[in-house]
Amino acid sequence: MADPMHQFQVEKLFDLPTVNLPLVGAIDLSITNSSLAMAVAAGLVMLFFTFVTANPKVVPGRLQVVGEGVFSFIDDLAVSIIGKEGRAFFPFVFTLFLFILAMNFLGLFLVFTATSQLAVTVTFGLMTIGLVVVVGLFRNGLGFFKLFLPSGVPWYLWWLVVPIEVISFVLRPVTLALRLFGNMLGGHVALKVFAGFVISLGALAAGGGLGLLAIPAAILSLGGVVALTALEFLVAFLQAFVFAVLTCVYLNDAVHAGHH
């Protein structure tokens, strides 16, 4: 348990039979700590908005104020980046933001941090880019490929600009996934390391003698744990927000590919 990477290990909680699907192969349906964390996060989000919308009032209570505030926050974000067409993508961006935010916050307590798994964040990145490609082709047809040749570029630079734009587009899901994964993984590792310092130095001081010199270092480490915990709450929100912002930016490119 002293290993700072142990907290990210995916473990089976309940064994379920394996299902064989055509063109996919064998799929293990067993419940893991990662899938349970995602299910809990989704359940809490749905439960919260069930309470918010169950009995709406003209003069909103605390929960309704929070629910309406989050709703307006993401709605304004989508419209400000994409334009009036942004409301068509509001359900996707809203769900993505809340789901990632719930998983990030749950990871700060006793529940497994699902967003510290690269497989989870890559899935979110591929879903986002997949939607961008579908929307871009549906709205613009072959004009979607104008995205890879910005207007105003001289023809003799096309050979250089087009590959750069293509590579940049292909790397979008990678950067989306790595940014979320790296921040959640790094923050939790740092917390575990500093917490380990507190325990180790405290045990050293308990031995008496020269070990008492470890007390100031243990106090300093404990202060680091408190500071990192506060920072992790901020990072948990910022990473969900950044993911939502970049999703809107990429969708804006798809919707307005002809003006790129």
Residue in this structure with the two tokens 């394996």, named with its chain if needed? 18
Q: What is the DSSP letter of 142?
A: G
pLDDT per residue of the chain (260 residues) written in tens, 0 to 9 = 467 778 888 888 888 888 887 877 788 888 899 999 999 999 999 999 888 877 778 777 788 888 889 999 999 999 999 988 889 999 999 999 999 999 999 988 877 899 999 999 999 999 999 999 999 999 888 888 888 887 788 888 888 988 998 999 999 999 999 999 999 999 889 888 888 888 888 888 777 666 677 788 888 888 888 999 999 999 999 999 999 999 999 999 888 876 65
Q: What was the pLDDT predicted at 209? A: 66
Q: What are phi and psi of 72, to 5 degrees?
A: -65, -35
Strand extents, DSSP E, the chain: 12-14, 18-21, 25-28, 31-32
Q: Where are the domains of the chain?
A: 6-259
**CB under 8 Å to 13, separation ≥6 — which residues?**
30, 31, 32, 33, 36
Beta partners for residue 19, in sequence order = 27
Q: What was the pLDDT predicted at 245? A: 96
Concatenating the DSSP letter of every residue in 1-47 gives ---TTGGG---EEE---EEEETTTEEEE--EEHHHHHHHHHHHHHHH
Instruction: Tell me the pairing of strands 25-28 and 31-32.
Output: unpaired
pTM for this model (two decimals): 0.89
